[in-house]
Homo-oligomer: A and B are copies of this chain.
């Protein structure tokens, strides 16, 4: 797994609106996964959640996370990262969740009641995959250096 920083092709992939799963660590050290929205600002990853989500407490306790971003066009192109939470704050004006919602849905986030919390993640390592087993290998078509 190559260390960060990610190369330009991976950065470009992370800028897409990808279907993504995040893994956090429960207090007993076991992994927990769920789907999430995210955005990559070229330097760090933003995720955002209701402040009642258990994984928020888990990330405060142990900030080690992993994420897999899957191209919405094909399951066979994806990038995974390992990283650390570097910043957590209440998204008071809902700027961050609206930014995420606009990326994924084209609109501000519809639910406005529960407080939202933003979490920023730095990438330590990454790995990727860009090969469809249903096709013959076409390395020249690969967009990811994997």
Contacts and interface: CB of A to CB of B under 8 A. Distances in A.
A68 B105 contact: no
A106 to B, nearest CB: 8
A134 B30 CA distance: 33
Given A21-B21, A23-B23, A72-B75, A33 B66 contact: yes
A12 interface: no
- Give the copy number: 2
A22 B34 CA distance: 10
A36 B62 CA distance: 25
A109 B133 contact: yes
Interface residues of A, number: 35
B133 A34 contact: no
Interface of A: 19, 21-25, 29-35, 64-68, 70, 72, 75, 78, 80, 82, 101, 104-107, 109-110, 127, 129, 133-134
24 contacts: A19-B19, A19-B70, A19-B75, A21-B21, A21-B70, A22-B33, A23-B23, A23-B32, A24-B31, A30-B82, A31-B64, A31-B82, A32-B66, A32-B82, A33-B33, A33-B66, A33-B68, A34-B129, A35-B70, A35-B78, A35-B80, A72-B75, A106-B134, A107-B134
